[in-house]
């Protein structure tokens, strides 16, 4: 392995002003540990991107809860390149000493942040962009660096969870991941169900990333090939059989690419090997190519040294069974075929479906057709985070924002959200946005501050409460009335729940709506109970039955 000084001297010879940039960052308190070229081959111009591994000073590490090392990407291009983000992500996946949430980018291109916004948003990390000129003109480097972190992290809206979270942002769910992974590897198809925004897609992304991270660089230790299909991504034009097939092939390409497997090595058809040609294929081509490609992949997997399994992870499965304009008969044909593959190649091919509930999967027939999912899927409902997981999530994000959440503040957040990850993050977000940046130096967030923002939080999440209400009504049409009643009269909880079907009560508990028997509060999500009292008139017949 080349010495640090060798790589450093090469970098200084290639990148203009690199020595002055390094000097300024060292005066800011950073200590350079390693230097590596992001790509071992130079471009035609003789330049390349460099990766610098810095140990942050104690004041920075403690203020923003940073890992032992920070990755800095030094890019010399006049126009920043998306490839630089890909190279940084590859490094972060293999080097666990690096901070998982923050990456520094020093770019010659002053528009780098805008130019790379799209690739960055898919990483789940905060990329802090600064121009080379900003670094070179810093009068007080230590103060400048602290201000940069304070401003960029403080304005990063780290509590926001309007989309699935992954990477550094993903916390907890280890028990669920082990259980789902074990069932899939054991050959049992899985149904992952849960309330809206409970984190189903985030769990699928974490499972996919975990399986890919477990693969060896030589391909001999690949555990599984996870293919993620998020049916929300299907455009209006693709809401048909051929659209699903094309999307499956593209997703298969992406899965192989992330594992470093070339399609040509699998004996796959030439028409599949070129991803650019997939858009040109007509419905008849796709009908032929999908089974051919999947069965070629299955044959390769069965003969590979590690015999990896192939997992098809179908997110928002309801959309091909009547919850969209996708033809139901086509959805049934697709699921018939996939069920056949699972049965023919046990432990080699398997599926996971994810959605709001099991209703579409538990119907025995659709008209004259049998439902391929009926009595075939192992249910895995997803409730909120466990108490310690929620605490870790809020504290982890809070530390990075220089906010210290006290135990009594976390008690309030738990009581209101029951660990539902979106709701917990939203409560943190409401608190965070009200704290001026000048007060953020390890500010303590206690019960009084949490309660001060409680009503604002409840107003913010009212649309989500309506979604939970709709989900509860889908589980049992009488459930909203009963839950509103026991929220007002908790002493009559057991008797009132007895008016619902036992399987409904069981499902409400597994979804994290109801607390377990004997809990002080009947509803696990306190803000939902408060919403019910305001928005769900108590049916007199419910009270009479109770």
Q: What is the mean pLDDT of residues 358-364?
A: 91
| Percent of the chain at pLDDT exceeding 70 | 90
List, in order, residues 6 or more apart from 226 with CB less than 8 Å away.
207, 208, 211, 212, 255, 311, 313
474 pLDDT more than 80: yes
Give yes or no for residue 113 having a pLDDT over 50: yes
Residue closest to 410 by CA, chosen among 462, 396, 401? 396
The H-or-E segment that residue 453 falls in is none
Q: Give me the pLDDT at residue 54, please.
A: 94
Residue 96 to residues 92, 93, 160, 376, Cα–Cα distance (Å): 7, 7, 25, 39
Residues belonging to the chain: 546
Residue 24 pLDDT more than 70?
Answer: yes
The better pLDDT of the pair 244, 46 is held by 244
pLDDT confidence band for 4 (50 / 70 / 90):
low
Q: What's the mean pLDDT in 405-420?
A: 97
Using a pLDDT cut of 90, give the percent of the chain over it.
55
Tell me what pLDDT residue 1 has: 41
- Comparing 115-129, 341-355, 407-421, 491-505, the range with the smallest average pLDDT is 115-129
- What is the arithmetic mean of pLDDT over 117-139? 89
Q: Which secondary structure element, helix H or strand E, spans residue 37, and what is its range?
A: strand 31-37
- Who wins on pLDDT, 408 or 516? 408
- Distance between CA atoms of 166 and 155, rounded to whole angstroms? 19
Q: What is the pLDDT of residue 217?
A: 45
The residue ranking higher by pLDDT, 185 or 282, is 185
Task: Give the pLDDT of residue 16.
Answer: 85
List pLDDT tens digits, range 418-452: 999 999 999 999 998 888 766 666 789 999 999 99
Cα separation, 297 vs 292, in Å, equals 9
> CA torsion sign, 249 to 255 to 257 to 261?
negative
Q: Rg for the chain (alpha carbons), in Å?
A: 26
Q: Tally helices (H) and strands (E) across the chain.
A: 26, 14
Enumerate residues 6+ apart whose C-beta is below 8 A from 172. 385, 386, 389, 390, 392, 393
Average pLDDT, the chain: 88
Give residue 459's pLDDT.
96
For 264-281, the pLDDT digits (tens) are 877 777 777 666 677 677
- Model's pTM, two decimal places? 0.78
Q: List the one residue out of 432, 446, 427 whose CA is nearest residue 384.
A: 427
What's the confidence (pLDDT) of residue 176?
94
pLDDT digits (tens, 9 = 90+) for 175-208: 999 999 999 999 999 999 999 889 898 899 889 9
Please state which of the ranges 180-189, 233-242, 361-370 shows the lowest mean pLDDT: 233-242
């Amino acid at each position: 392995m080349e010495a640090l000084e060798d790589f450093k001297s090469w970098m200084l010879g290639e990148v203009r002003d690199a020595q002055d940039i390094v000097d300024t960052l060292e005066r800011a308190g950073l200590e350079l540990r390693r230097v590596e070229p992001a790509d071992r081959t130079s471009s035609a111009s003789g330049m390349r991107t460099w990766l610098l591994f810095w140990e942050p000073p104690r004041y920075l590490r403690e203020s923003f809860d940073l890992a032992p090392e920070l990755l800095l990407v030094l890019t010399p291009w006049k126009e920043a390149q998306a490839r630089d983000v890909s190279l940084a992500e590859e490094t972060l996946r293999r080097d666990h000493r690096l901070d998982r949430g923050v990456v520094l980018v020093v770019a010659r291109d002053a528009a780098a942040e805008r130019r790379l916004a799209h690739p960055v948003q898919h990483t789940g990390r905060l990329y802090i962009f600064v121009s080379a000129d900003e670094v070179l003109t810093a009068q007080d480097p230590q103060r400048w660096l602290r201000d940069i972190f304070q401003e960029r992290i403080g304005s990063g809206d780290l509590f926001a969870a309007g989309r699935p979270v992954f990477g550094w942002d993903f916390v907890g769910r280890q028990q669920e991941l082990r259980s789902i992974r074990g069932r899939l590897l054991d050959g049992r198809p899985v149904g992952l169900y849960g309330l809206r925004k409970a984190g189903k897609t985030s769990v699928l992304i974490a499972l996919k990333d975990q399986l890919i991270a477990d693969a060896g660089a030589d391909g001999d230790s690949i555990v599984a090939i996870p293919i993620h299909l998020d049916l929300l991504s299907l455009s209006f034009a693709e809401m048909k059989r051929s659209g699903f097939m094309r999307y499956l092939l593209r997703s298969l390409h992406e899965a192989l690419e992330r594992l470093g497997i070339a399609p040509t090595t699998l004996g796959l058809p030439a028409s599949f090997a070129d991803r650019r040609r997939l858009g040109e294929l007509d419905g008849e081509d796709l009908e032929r190519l999908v089974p051919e490609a999947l069965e070629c992949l299955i044959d390769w997997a069965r003969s590979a040294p590690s015999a990896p399994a192939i997992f098809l992870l179908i997110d928002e499965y309801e959309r091909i069974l009547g919850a969209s304009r996708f033809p139901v008969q086509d959805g049934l044909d697709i699921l018939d075929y996939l069920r056949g593959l699972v049965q023919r190649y046990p432990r080699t091919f398997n599926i996971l479906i994810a959605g709001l509930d099991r209703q579409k999967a538990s119907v025995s027939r659709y008209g004259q057709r049998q439902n391929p999912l009926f009595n075939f899927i192992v249910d895995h409902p997803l409730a909120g985070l466990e108490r310690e997981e929620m605490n870790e999530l809020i504290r982890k994000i809070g530390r990075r924002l220089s906010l210290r959440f006290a135990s009594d503040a976390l008690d309030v957040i738990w009581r209101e959200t029951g660990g539902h990850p979106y709701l917990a993050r939203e409560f943190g977000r409401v608190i965070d946005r009200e704290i001026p940046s000048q007060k953020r130096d390890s500010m303590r967030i206690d019960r009084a501050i949490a309660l001060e923002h409680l009503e604002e939080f409840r107003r913010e999440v009212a649309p989500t409460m309506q979604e939970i209400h709709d989900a509860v009504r889908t589980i049992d049409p009488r459930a909203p009335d009963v839950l509103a009643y026991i929220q007002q009269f908790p002493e009559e909880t057991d008797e009132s729940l007895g008016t619902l079907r036992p399987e409904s009560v069981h499902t409400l508990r597994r979804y994290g709506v109801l607390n377990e028997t004997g809990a002080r509060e009947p509803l696990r999500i306190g803000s939902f109970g408060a919403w019910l009292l305001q928005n769900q008139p108590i049916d007199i017949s419910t009270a009479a039955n109770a």
